[in-house]
Structure formats: C-alpha cells, structure tokens
Structure 1
Amino acid sequence: MKKTMPSNSLVGQTALVTGAGGGIGRGIALELAAAGARVVVAARRGATGEETVRLVQAEGGEALAIEADVTSLLDMQSAVKASLEHFGGLDILVHNATHGASGHPKQLQDFVDEDWDAQVAVDLVGAHHCAISAYEALSASGAGRMILLCSTFGLHGAALNPAYAAIKGGIRGLTKALAREWGPQGITVNAISPSALTAASAAFFDSNPALRDAYIANFPLGRMGHERDDIGRAVVGLCGQGMGYITGQVIQVDGGLYTAV
C-alpha cells in the first residue's frame, strides 16, 4: 500500500511568521516547525526572534531569525528575500504582529492621530506589506497559504477599543478580498480569531482572580486557549493539504466563546 503524508504535514515547506518573538506568534512558529515546516521568525526585536529560533532548534526544527518591522515595506521585502535565499522558497505567510497598545482600553475622544496611526501601521498596513511582499513567492509555491490574525472585536465592535475594532474589521475585509483575488493562483487566504491565555492576560488574571473566574465562565470548554497547542495547531491545520479548499474565511478559535458569527 502506498504511504501518504498526513494531511497536516508541512515537511518541505517554508513559513514566515511576523511577531514571532513571543506570545501567540511564538506558539504558531513552534507548531509550524513541529509539523515539519522551516520557519522564518520575523520579530521587531532581534533577541526575541533568536530565542524563538533556539526553541525551534531544541525540538529538532529548522528556523531563521529576521529582525523586521512590518510597518516597513522594505523590511518585509527583505524578510521574504531571506526566506527565498535561505530555504529556497516561501509557502506560508502568517501575519500575527500587532501593536502593543491594542490591548489597552482607550475612548475614542482620547485618541490622537499618532495613537491611531501607530496601531493601523502595524496591524493593517503591516498586513498589506506582508501580502504585497510575499505574493510572487506564494504564487510560485503552487499552494500558497496566507493566514491573518483577526478578532471578534472586528465583528461586534469593542467599547473602549475603537482602533483595534476598526483594524480587525479591516483585516476581515482584506482576508476576503485577497481570497478572491489570489484564488486563481492557488493561494488560500484565511484568518483566525483566537482567544489565548497570553503572558499579559495571565498576569492580569493572577491579580484579579474574580474577574478571571467570571470571564472563564463564558467559555463552553471551560478555559482559554493555549498559544501553541490551540492557536498554533489551528494555523497548521489551515496550512495543511486537508484544508486546501477553505479560503476567505474568518475562523473562531476560542473554545466556543463566540458562536453567533
């Protein structure tokens, strides 16, 4: 009987992950590598990217750290070029980078243009830079994958977080537009809306256990997601052969927190 590769095997493929110096981005990078992909770790701070590479290599994977700021088109073009030169191609692009202020509540009237522009530059303009830089390489792959990180805030809105809600609404639209535009080239474009217990949220909940318990009670599965085991594996699944007919979708990876989407 002919042996076949598992549908989620990424052996022989190369993935570029932005914002992979920690948190969800690191979890995604580690899980992509565990599935067999060679991973280009793009991080604004080189030291954090190098740490992710060390973790990948400790598990026997291949990875390359690139210091890159997604707000710079030149940086993203350089990251894609490094992927091609070091690993011979680029099959998967995950845009995970987000501005650090996106998780801090702020009323609209308290925003100044610089605040708004800074968040848009990382999340939304950064997505554009990733897409325009990687298009030719993903087309050459024959089965390219682009994954964007979204949020339900972009669907139902978010009191005290108008910039983030607007940005993630834009990510939803970009995902669907690129899926239509790039489909003829064999590229799928999807987004996930994750809910994960990051280091920042864990620290907040540790100091506010009552709020933690009240929030966790909203999850049908009784917990928040794990950056790698839940979010990373969802990305791997979308990148595998078994999900090659899914495109233009925004998928909730949140333990059932939002079901009316």
Structure 2
Amino acid sequence: MDASVNRPLEGRVALVTGAGGGIGRDLACALGAAGAHVGIAVRRIETGEETANLISAEGGPRSLVIRMDMTDHASIAAGVAALAGEFGAVDIIIQNAAAPDSAYPMSADVTDEVAWRRQADITLGGTLVLAQAGHPHLKASGQGRFIVMTSNFGYHGAAMNAIYSTTKASLRGFIKSLAREWGPDRITVNAISPAAATPPTRVFFSQYPAMEAAYRRKFALGTLGDPRRDIGEGAVALCAGYLGFMTGQTLFLDGGLFPSA
C-alpha cells in the first residue's frame, strides 16, 4: 500500500499540548503513528517521556518532549521555538491542555473567581498565546493546521460544569475568527469536539454513577468513543489534508451525542 496512506503525516512536525496523558497522549500517538514528528508538550517531563516511549514503540519517528505550562506565556513561546529548532518546522498545532480541575464537578453557586480564572487562563489565554507563537511557523509551512479540543458541553451546556462549558464554548468563536484571519496564509483552523472514555469522564462517572447510564442513552451509537481510534484518527484525517477545505468549523467526533430536548 502507498506509504502516503499508511503514514499520511510523513515528514510533518506537530505540537500537541497536554500530551502527557488522557486524550492528549492518544492524539500524540496517533499523529506519531501517521508519520509526524511530535512535540509532546507537558508540565511534567516524566509524563511526556512516557508518551514518547509509546510513540517509539509503535515505530513512530523521533519525538521531542517539551516542558510547557499554558499559564506561563514565556514557556509557550520557548516550546514552539524549541520544536521548530529541532525539526526545522511546525506544521500542526493541537491545543488540548486544560486545567486539572476542569474534570471535577462544581456547581455554579460555589464556583469562585479563582477557579474561573484558572480555567480561563489555560483554555483561553493559553490558546491565544499558543496561536500567536505558532502563527509564523504555520504560515511558513504552507499547509498549517491549528486545532483546539473543545467539548459538547460548550455546545449544549452541562450542569455542574459551568466554567468548563463556558470556556469551551468560547473556543468555537475563537477558531471561527482565527480561520478568517489566517485563511490567506493557507492555515486551517478548526476544533474537535470529542466524546470519549477518558480519565476525566471516568472520574466524573465514578462520583455520579447514575449519570453514566443516562449519558450513554444520549449517544446515537450508544457508547463513548475510543480516544485513540475514534478521536486520534479523526485528528489525523484533519491534519493530513483529507479535510483540507474545512476551516472555522467544529468536527464533532461524538457518536451522535445529542443535547436533551
């Protein structure tokens, strides 16, 4: 079979934030298996090294572990520069990082400004700075891809998750605006809204087991997706150019998850 089919990202350079675990790790591994050199952006180097080892074990090309804190703007710029310096380009950026407490239920009436700012600083502020740092490299690529991971909660809301829902909804407006600005530079800007069985969802359902069965009934396919197969491979398709005419859009990889009437 044609190598371009087996490894459609051969020779490309990708940065994935929050790639030390959860869906970020699956995204990084999927891109690596598709042939991309992956910059594994993490707060803790050891978790990034675990991801790098998985990519290597699957026969992926050399990756680079980068310490990056999405609340530290200098570390974002330095991380992007380090990846470009190592491999000579940055063609793909996937902003997946989120605040650690975004996975935990929190009712709106006890939400405080500290929690609000912590999530907004990472999901919104960090995404903006990452876009600013990455733009020159994506423009130089000629086939740049900028992707943010959003959520169905940002589309139809979620009780006990008001901050998370708000920040994820805001990202949809951001990518639409950025797509218009960056279109002349041949950069596509999109979001992926996944519904997968990730560690955060397991934490949530362990605290509210009755909600899991009710939640699954909302899926047309009756189940949450597999992070690697259903979400990671979807990201590869978006990065590889199969969806190269798509920009400013949200790709719902959610098994037909519909909001309540």
Where in structure 2 are there 5+ consecutive unaligned residues? none
Q: What's the offset of the Cα at 1:205?
A: 4.5
Equivalent in the alignment of 1:133: 133
Question: How many Å apart are 1:108 and its aligned residue?
Answer: 2.6
Q: Paired residue for 1:181?
A: 181
Q: Which moved more, 1:119-128 or 1:214-223?
A: 214-223
- What are the residue-to-residue correspondences of 1:175-254 with 2, within 5 Å? 175-202=175-202, 205=205, 211-254=211-254
Following the alignment from structure 1 to structure 2, what is the Cα–Cα distance between the partners of residues 235 and 73?
Answer: 25
Aligned to 2:41: 42
Name the % identity. 45
Inter-CA distance 7–188: structure 2 relative to 1 (3 Å threshold): farther
Distance 1:7 1:171 in 2: 32
Moved more, 201-210 or 231-240: 201-210
Matched letter for residue 93 of structure 1: I
Q: Using a 3 Å threshold, how does the CA distance of structure 1 residues 70 and 110 change in structure 2: closer, same or farther?
A: same
Superposed counterparts of 1:37-76, under 5 Å: 37-61=36-60, 62-76=62-76
Q: TM-score, normalised by structure 1?
A: 0.92
The separation in 1 between residues aligned to 2:87 and 2:115, in whole angstroms, is 37
Amino acid at match of 1:137: H
Q: Deviations over 1:77-119 (max 9, x none)?
A: 1111111111110000000001111122223331222111001
How many matched pairs? 258
Query: In 2, Cα distance between the equivalents of 1:11 and 1:193?
Result: 25
Write out per-residue CA displacement over residues 202-221 of structure 1, whole angstroms, 9 at most, x where no aligned residue: 35546866543332222221
Gap change, CA 1:259 and 1:210, over 3 Å in 2? closer
- What are the superposed Cα offsets for residues 219-241 of structure 1, whole Å, 9 maximum, x if unpaired? 22122111111111111111112
Aligned residue for 2:134, secondary structure, equals helix
C-alpha distance 41-157 of structure 1, shift in aligned 2 (>3 A): same
1:72–1:143 distance in 2 versus 1, CA, 3 Å: same
Contact 1:190–1:248 (CA under 8 A) maintained in structure 2: yes
Unaligned stretches of 5+ residues in structure 1: none
- More displaced stretch, 234-243 vs 215-224: 215-224
Query: 1:24 is paired with a residue of what secondary structure?
Result: helix
Letter in 1 for 2:120: V
**Is this contact kept in 1: 2:104–2:200, CA < 8 A?**
no
In the TM superposition, residue 47 of structure 1 has moved relative to its aligned partner by 0.9
Distance 2:205 2:109 in 1: 28
Query: Over aligned residues, Cα RMSD in angstroms?
Result: 2.0
TM-score (norm 2): 0.92
| Structure 1 CA distance for aligned equivalents of residues 94 and 72 of structure 2 | 16
Say whether the 8 Å CA contact 1:73–1:133 is kept in structure 2: no
